[in-house]
Amino acid sequence: MNTEVLKYNKESIERAAGIIRNGGLVGMPTETVYGLAANALDEAAVASIFAAKGRPQDNPLIVHISGIEQLAPLVREIPEVASRLADRFWGGPLTMIFPKSDVVPDITSGGLDTVAVRMPASEAARSLIDACGLPIAAPSANLSGSPSPTTAQHVYDDMHGRIPLIIDGGECSCGVESTVICFRENKIHILRPGGITAEMLSEFAEVEIDKAVSAKPAADERVLSPGMKYKHYSPKADVFIVDEHGDAFKRYCLTHAKGRTIALGIGTENDGIFIDYGACAEIQAQRLFSLLRYADDSGAELVFVEMPSQDGVGLAVYNRLLRAAGFRIVKE
């Protein structure tokens, strides 16, 4: 199959909508990461998402909508706090989990009785959903296990030959996937941290952070969000989080460099093995996946990353890094 890449505009969205209405797949830009979009209500189309990504069938997909009125048909119940969160944070990088209605096929929800729904902020994503007139299932548009794509080129690198069209909406502004939450006993329970932070959510209800966000689930442990048990975001290189800062970080990296080594530092100068991955969490989030892909493209065998802060969006950066590093944290 030939894979076309078209800039986001009215014509390319019409083309993409035609493909999706006919059961096909399209690479779709959003403000978080690029998604692999299909009709969420079409079992065969959703099955082809799993096939194209090589994704385990029990890992449910997020259903994307472009207007709040599209939520009710997908779910059996909308908690009051969810309505208030939607008012404040939709469109934006927040995914909420609801009891699902029969409209949503089991394959979309990975066999669960719940469905994850998000309304993106991205104009390109929303105009595609509008043009389809359908809810869109979209996981991140990477091959399962590799870093999520934040440019159309990343999607092309993973998906060319597997999908007919990628809409190029430029670089994703957020750079990490949406925050995923569910509601438990009047609390907001964070399953995956993202651009909408625990601090922001705590204005609406008590917030608890799932322990799988920062710890490795045991092999036999039942996790609330199936995505958390899989190896994720990994480049081919060996990644380590280095729990040292400033000069101590640099010393560690220079001492332990072996073969082609890249060291991602916080606000460091780009010099030798060192590359700056951002002085603040927002920039780190935006650059992280792209730099992990760059590590592969440049043939790196070893990647050291300076331990990020875990505040605000930093928790999302830390969560993705832990998985990229297989939970390996080192220090002097």
Q: Closer CB to Mg ion, residue 147 or residue 265?
A: 147
- For ligand TXA, which residue of 126, 192, 287, 323 counts as binding (CB under 6 A)? 192
The binder of ligand TXA chosen from 39, 66, 109, 286 (CB under 6 A): 109
Give yes or no for residue 146 binding ligand TXA (CB under 6 A). no
Of residues 115 through 134, those in contact with ligand TXA by CB under 6 A are: 115-116, 118
81 touches 205 (CB < 8 A):
yes
Taking contact as CB under 6 A, which single stretch among the options 8-16, 158-166, 222-230, 272-280 is the one that binds ligand TXA? 222-230
Is there a contact between 170 and 178 (Cβ–Cβ < 8 Å)? no
The yes or no reply on residue 26 touching ligand TXA (CB under 6 A) is: no
- Indicate which of Mg ion, ligand TXA, none lies near residue 62 (CB less than 5 to 8 Å, by partner kind): ligand TXA
3-state secondary structure the chain: CCCEEEECCHHHHHHHHHHHHCCCCEEECCCCCCEEEEECCCHHHHHHHHHHHCCCCCCCCEEECCCHHHCHHHECCCCHHHHHHHHHHCCCCEEEEEEECCCCCCCCCCCCCEEEEECCCCHHHHHHHHHHCCCEECCECCCCCCCCCCCHHHHHHHHECCECEEEECCCCCCCCCCEEEEEECCEEEEEECCCCCHHHHCCCCCEEECHHHCCCCCCCCCCCCHHHHCCCCCCCCEEEEECCCHHHHHHHHHHHCCCCEEEEECCCCCECCEEECCCCHHHHHHHHHHHHHHHHHCCCCEEEEECCCCCCCHHHHHHHHHHHCCCCEECC
Please, what is the minimum distance in Å from the beta carbon of residue 139 to Mg ion? 5
Considering the rule CB under 6 A, would residue 275 count as an interface residue with ligand TXA?
no
Residue 234 burial (CB count, 10 A): 17
Q: Does 177 bind ligand TXA (CB under 6 A)?
A: yes
| Residue 284 is a binding residue for Mg ion (CB under 5 A) | no
> Residue 53 — φ and ψ, nearest 5°?
-85, -20
Using CB under 5 A, which of the segments 49-57, 110-118, 138-146, 180-188 binds Mg ion? 138-146
The residue written with tokens 């790196």 in the block is 300
Closest residue by beta carbon to ligand TXA: 227
CB closer to ligand TXA, 112 vs 303? 112
Q: Judged by CB, which is closer to ligand TXA: 66, or 268?
A: 66
Smallest gap from residue 150 Cβ to Mg ion (A): 12
From 69-77, 139-147, 191-199, 240-248, span contacting Mg ion (CB under 5 A): 139-147
Out of 164, 226, 244, 260, name the contact with ligand TXA by CB under 6 A: 226
N-term to C-term CA, the chain: 50
Instruction: Report if residue 138 touches ligand TXA, rule: CB under 6 A.
Output: yes
Residue 97 in contact with ligand TXA, rule: CB under 6 A: yes
Q: Should residue 140 be labelled a site residue for Mg ion when binding is judged by CB under 5 A?
A: yes
CB 119 within 8 Å of CB 74? no
Residues near Mg ion (CB under 5 A), total: 1
Q: Taking the CB of residue 21, how many other CB atoms lie within 10 A of it?
A: 15
Q: Does 319 bind Mg ion (CB under 5 A)?
A: no
Q: Which is nearer to Mg ion, 250 or 293 (CB)?
A: 293
Given 30, 48, 66, 150, the residue binding ligand TXA (CB under 6 A): 30
Q: Does 139 bind ligand TXA (CB under 6 A)?
A: yes
Contacts with Mg ion by CB under 5 A lie at: 140
Contact residues for ligand TXA, defined by CB under 6 A: 30, 32-33, 35, 59-62, 93, 95, 97, 109, 112, 114-116, 118, 138-140, 177-178, 180, 191-192, 224-227
